[in-house]
Amino acid sequence: EMKRTPTDVPIVLAETEFGKLWMLIDTGSPDVIITPNTAARMHMPITPAPISLVDADGHRHRIDGITPVTQLSLGAANFSHFIAFVSEIGNVQDHDHPPSGIAGLPLFGDVLLTLDYLDDRIIIQPGSLPPPDGINVLPLYRNGNHLSVPLRIGDREIDAVVDTGYSGTIIIPDSMKEDFPGAEKPVAQSLVRAFYSFNAMKIAMLDEDLHIGQHIVHEPIVAVSKTPTVTLGAQYLKQFAITIDQTHHRIRFARPGGKALRMPSFRPEIERELAAMKPTPVPPPTKAPTVQPSTQPSAQIDP
């Protein structure tokens, strides 16, 4: 069974030879991470290592070390003999299911990972997706340490990182906002949590539709930020059952009955959405009390 944090980040109960722990399923993370408190509680052996994690905003955090994991179970799926980083996971929180670790992409490299937001379940199984058809199954690109999917906005195709650990809608880099009509007209400002930092974002509504295969989002809401990549987050991902096939570089966005999603415009609800976010009006950009987690760490070796 898949749980969700209040901001729709998927979290599951995992079990190791040392004990049980709640782990975030974060497709934006290239690492498997265990928190220091959890490692200490479970008496996991830790070996110091000169490694730092880097979050989506480029902020570095030195890990406590590495630990060998002989076996980790997520439901009926078992993973064995891998190394996890021991590190704080920064700004990620959930009072009902306190996250003790992060299950990142390497854990699911040779299986099909399905995150079914519609029925709140996670499915891990062998196999492969059918070839991309541009309807439900799309190509999946390796973009550095992350996985990207092609989206269309208007007549332009862009690659967006698929990040289940980012609780927002879509992040557009500030340097690319001219490519997205409407992004240059922010309606609010918000503060977003990365792993180890905070980042101010401007909230805008695009003038053109967003296409994810056959699925259409009218007048999509986006966040404009200094982050380097376009990122697709949980507020759109939660509309689907998503299956990731890293081996064959494919991803499926499924809806009940195979029907296409046609999300209506957010415009009638924009005031309610923004009120729920409690944003700071723009201009002027003063305080920004809303916080959303975005977790995209990657490892770097320190000198």
**What does the H/E/C string look like for the chain?**
CCEECCCCCEEEEEEECCEEEEEEECCCCCCCEECHHHHHHCCCCCECCCEEEECCCCCEEECCEEEEEEEEEECCEEEEEEEEEECCCCCCCCCCCCEEEEECHHHHCCCEEEEECCCCEEEEECCCCCCCCCCCEEECEEECCEEEEEEEECCEEEEEEECCCCCCCEEEEHHHHHHCCCCCCCCEEEEEECCCCEEEEEEEECCCCEEECCEEECCCEEEEECCCCCEECHHHHCCCEEEEECCCCEEEEECHHHCCCEECCCHHHHHHHHHHHCCECCCCCCCCCCCCECCCCEEEECC
Written as six digits, the tokens of 137 are: 């199954």
CA distance to 62, 84, 114, 285, per residue, from 243 (Å):
32, 24, 4, 39
- What are all long-range contacts of 9-12, with beta carbons under 8 Å and residues at least 24 apart? 9/92, 9/94, 9/164, 9/165, 9/167, 9/234, 9/293, 9/295, 10/115, 10/117, 10/122, 10/164, 11/94, 11/97, 11/99, 12/74, 12/75, 12/103, 12/122
In this predicted structure, what is the pLDDT of residue 265? 56
Q: In a structure prediction context, what are the per-residue pLDDT tens digits for the chain, which is 303 residues long?
A: 899 988 899 999 999 988 999 999 999 999 999 999 999 999 999 999 999 887 766 677 889 999 999 999 998 899 999 999 999 887 666 778 888 999 999 999 999 999 999 999 999 999 999 999 999 999 999 988 889 999 998 888 999 999 998 888 899 999 998 889 999 888 777 766 655 566 778 888 899 999 999 999 888 888 898 888 899 999 899 999 999 999 999 999 999 888 888 765 555 545 555 555 544 444 444 333 333 333 333 334 344
Cβ atoms within 10 A of the Cβ of 278, count? Answer: 12
The answer to whether the beta carbons of residues 234 and 166 sit under 8 Å apart is: yes
- Rounded Cα distance between 100 and 92, Å, is 10
